Amino acid sequence: MNILVLNAGSSSLKWQLLQMPEGKLLTKGLAERIGERDKGRIIFPDRSFEGDLPSHTRVLEKLKSYLDEHAAWPIHAIGHRVVHGGNEFVEPVRINEKVKQKIRSLFNLAPLHNPPNLAGIEASEQYFPGIPQVAVFDTAFHQTIPEFEHRYAIPEKFYRDGIRQYGFHGISHSYIAKQVMKKSRAAVKVVSLHLGNGASATAILNGKSVAHSMGFGPLSGLIMGTRSGDIDPSVLLYWMQQLAMTAYEISRILNKESGLRGLTGYNDMRELERLYEKREARALLAIRMYVNRIKKYIGGYAALMNGLDALVFTAGIGEHSSLIRKKTCEDLDYLGLSLDAEKNLNPQLHDGLVHAEDSRVKIYVIPTNEELEIAAQTYQVLNPHSS
């Protein structure tokens, strides 16, 4: 079965065509700057297009034309990443009108993500009529987080209105959970660190998410490229009451101007590492703060799970920054972590295993593959009796 995976952002669309259940990649591509007049770009494996891309529908039209040229790649199903499933969706679902209406009803919870996700679905229906489509939700993996963990200590009426922790990066953390179980059945208490421009930590117990660093939205938790992560709500009250700042201004600061960029002017960890090696003060402070926040979550999750069997680094920074992995694992010997310095420099040469021989906790570097996870979940929905 050939499954087209679509990951629609507000101004972008990534796609992969995978042969399932083998997981063989047939083709992939990317559309950027959708909606920016005459500035759009579509990158195919053998060509590119630059010009006006007014909507996701236009991108899907061009993708359909490209795929029609490759008759050997018939499309049997389409899997969509949908960021927010609210309380409604605890697993992937085949898309119908009712599902689309529910996704639309969640626009207020994910105004930057769910609208383009739905646009991708509706454009697919137009250009790939009759082909089954499946929605895979980023929040679904975290629906196993127990109530005592996902609730906030606020009045009951707000909880009934949907104010609770939902969690994000769930497709990535779900993929990591499965990969760890393949590598070691004994690794039942796992902390997964998705470290990219967006960053999150998840406590995974017996393959299930039981705690997560992001909350009602993707702003809380770890320090990120441009997002603050955890911050005292009193700061927000001070800004509103004493400085008369608007909700829009505060949102812009916390989402676009904070994190590593707020501390240093840069949100690219590679640039910060270059400055770190030169002992530049702001870079030294930012990396210390970045790693310190991660350590807090590792320790806290080990406490929640009564131990730790495996620590996993994934996503851009997690997979490629030996410095961040080194600093994160320092002074965690009380948990049984011991990093092998040489393996850490070249994890790909050691099947992603970077712990020392005497480490009680396994330390992995596992490249995430959200598109493959979406394809796998799509295949399972459409073939429920397959092993």
Max intra-chain CA distance, the chain? 64
Distance CA 90, CA 139 (A): 8
| Amino acid in position 349 | L
Residues 6+ apart with CB under 8 A from 322: 344, 345
- Point out the residues that are catalytic: 138
CB atoms within 10 A of CB 169: 29
For 11-41, letters b (16+ CB in 10 Å) and e give: bbbbbbbbebeeeeebbebbbbebbeeeebb
CA-closest candidate to residue 290, choices 213, 225, 362, 358: 225
Distance CA 157, CA 71 (A): 55
As a 3-state breakdown, the chain gives helix, strand, coil percent values, each rounded to 5, of 40, 20, 40
Angle between helix axes 56-68 and 114-127 (nearest 10 degrees) is: 40
Cα–Cα distance list, 273 to 165, 173, 282 (Å) = 33, 26, 11
Collapsing DSSP states into helix, strand and coil, what is residue 125?
helix
DSSP H helices in 134-210: 147-150, 156-160, 170-183
Contact assessment for residue 340 and residue 355, using Cβ atoms and an 8 Å cutoff: yes
- Paired strand residues for 191: 203, 311
